[in-house]
Structure 1
Amino acid sequence: MTGPLRVLISADMEGIAGIVHPTETNPERYDYERGRRLMTAEVNAAIAGVLDAEPDAAVRVADAHGSFRNLLPEELDRRARLVRGKPRPMGMLGGLGLPTFSDAGGSDDASGSGEEGGVVLFVGYHARAGAGPAVLAHTMSDTVLDVRINGRSLGEIGLNAAVAGHHGAPAVLLSGDDAACAELNALVPAALTVPVKFALGQAAAETIHPEEARENLRAGAAVAVARRAQVPPFTLTGPLQVEVDIYSPTTVDLAVLVPGVSRAPGARTVTFTAEDMPQAYSLIQLLVQLGTIKPA
């Protein structure tokens, strides 16, 4: 018996309509509360679109910005489950691969595609560092400047799409600025993208109205889920040679204490070999967390 479609919505904040400045994404700044309301509303639009196409879908939402505690639980569509808080397995894809809901039936993994498998949607995503003009572009937090896997530079979009792809789940949709949309389409040409603003610089954009963004996102999510069989998972076959450019020399010093991590020529780059994308992703997450440790 075929169970319901499993859907993971990974929600970031920099790519939400109307948001262009760090004050709108930082919990310690005055504009943050408005930013998180805008973020929650866009996620609700994506949930509604998924369920328009697949009323019985089992939907999880991974809060994937900063602290992973941005979405307002009491305002989130109650038909979805929320994964929030950190650190956690799978990082921005928290919930991928967890047992499905107790009342949802089906198998206990998120692998596969089509009727029996899972799909991933990226809401509010930003482009990688160096992709400009792009709104609030960066690679991973303010710690990691660049990640190259087998020589290919990847930001959060590529890394998360590859982890999902390892589990057989295609990234069928992305919303964000035009640079973020182009980044996913370069990796997954068949994916549907919903541009909600058009970058003029790192902290400037021409943005559509938030209500229009939600309408477009709801419609796009429904189409993306309905045509999921046409979107192949983005996969990277191991072993993977990983290079990570790190902002702080102190973080580099800490990173090379991790078994298997070596310092490359130059002040900022460390390297390691991973068996597959989940292993690479876990170690990259660790390097990001090491960046929060200040010199003694």
Structure 2
Amino acid sequence: MKVLISVDMEGISGIVHPTETNPGGYDYERGRALMTAEANSVIAGVLDAEPTATVLVADAHGPFRNILPEQLDRRARLVRGKPRPLGMLAGLDEHTDAAMLIGYHARAGGGPGLLAHTMNDDILDVRVAGRSMGEIGLNAAMAGHLGVPVVLLSGDDAAGAELHELVPSAVTVAVKHSLGQATAITLHPEEARERLRQSAADAIKRYTQIPPLAIPGPLDVEVDLHNPLTADLATLVPGVSRAAGGRTVAFTTPDFTDTYRLLLLLGQLATIKPG
């Protein structure tokens, strides 16, 4: 059995503010330790249920270099660094049996969700076939396109609700209750880890009962952008055009793999500043 654990940072227990998630920020090093510890709990839960499983952990936050390699459970392999194929899901392929989204957050405009956003601050909304989707939906659909179910998600209550709208049978663990963009009631980290270990084991035991999220193509996609410069750059990409409003771009793809890759490119274009 092969399991991919994609670990973001905003949905880790105890974390409530961007300075705890950004390199160089106040308490970022503590945030890295909390993130690594929750990843370890999920690894342990997977291996409790399936001791011979191959476990990959994709560091899926910001620079993709947050998890402390020397503190990660040595039974897992770590995917870190960027850019890379499939972004937050690096390591996923058609041979993967189950995916888990740990430390995730609600989409931009969703919730109220703690530290809610979609990919970066420049992307205000992504609509795939008319449905608004954040990182949870996009990653679940990318995994589903390869036939892989997302069986477990952890984060705040808004993140869990977002996945349940798409995959009602998935296991979710709310490690904190969102009160706003930078405020939450959070579990003690040790309590969160205990729940994650048990939930990971439970999810693996019934992974065959949780269906992949399948969104067949062709797909019409619209992306609302905060920065008009990003829209200017996006229209240089073949197949991408401006839609109504000037800051919305649109494109059509044959399947979700092309949708996902184009969104990764738009995320990178958003980091370019005027020359």
Fold agreement, TM-score > 0.5: yes
Structure 2, gaps ≥5 residues long? none
Distance 2:118 2:186 in 1: 22
2:168 is paired with a residue whose SS is coil
- State, as a whole percentage, how many aligned pairs show the same letter: 68
Alignment of 1:73 with 2:52, yes or no, is: no
Instruction: Report the AA paired with residue 182 of structure 1.
Output: A
- Residues 126 and 221, structure 2, Cα contact 8 Å, conserved in 1: yes
- Residues 40 and 73, structure 2, Cα contact 8 Å, conserved in 1: yes
Distance 1:255 1:133 in 2: 29
Aligned counterpart in structure 2 of residue 121 of structure 1, from 92, 100, 108: 100
Aligned counterpart in structure 1 of residue 243 of structure 2, from 261, 264, 280: 264
Normalised by the length of structure 2, the TM-score is 0.99
Root mean square deviation of aligned Cα:
0.7
Alignment map for 1:1-296 (pairs within 5 Å): 5-97=1-93, 109-110=94-95, 117-296=96-275
Deviation of the 1:283 alpha carbon: 0.4
Deviation of the 1:229 alpha carbon: 0.9
Instruction: Report the AA paired with residue 237 of structure 2.
Output: V
Distance 2:61 2:160 in 1: 18
Instruction: Report the AA paired with residue 16 of structure 2.
Output: V
Distance 1:130 1:142 in 2: 11
Distance 1:282 1:257 in 2: 15
Deviation of the 1:199 alpha carbon: 0.4
Q: Deviations over 1:197-253 (max 9, x none)?
A: 000000000001000000000000000010101100001000000001111100100
Superposed structure 1 runs of 4+ greater than 4 Å apart: none
Distance 1:179 1:124 in 2: 12
Deviation of the 1:141 alpha carbon: 1.3
Distance 2:182 2:236 in 1: 36
Structure 1, gaps ≥5 residues long? 98-108, 111-116
Instruction: Report the AA paired with residue 68 of structure 1.
Output: F
Deviation of the 1:132 alpha carbon: 2.5
Instruction: Report the AA paired with residue 159 of structure 2.
Output: A
- Residues 128 and 221, structure 2, Cα contact 8 Å, conserved in 1: yes
Instruction: Report the AA paired with residue 92 of structure 2.
Output: L
Instruction: Report the AA paired with residue 122 of structure 1.
Output: L
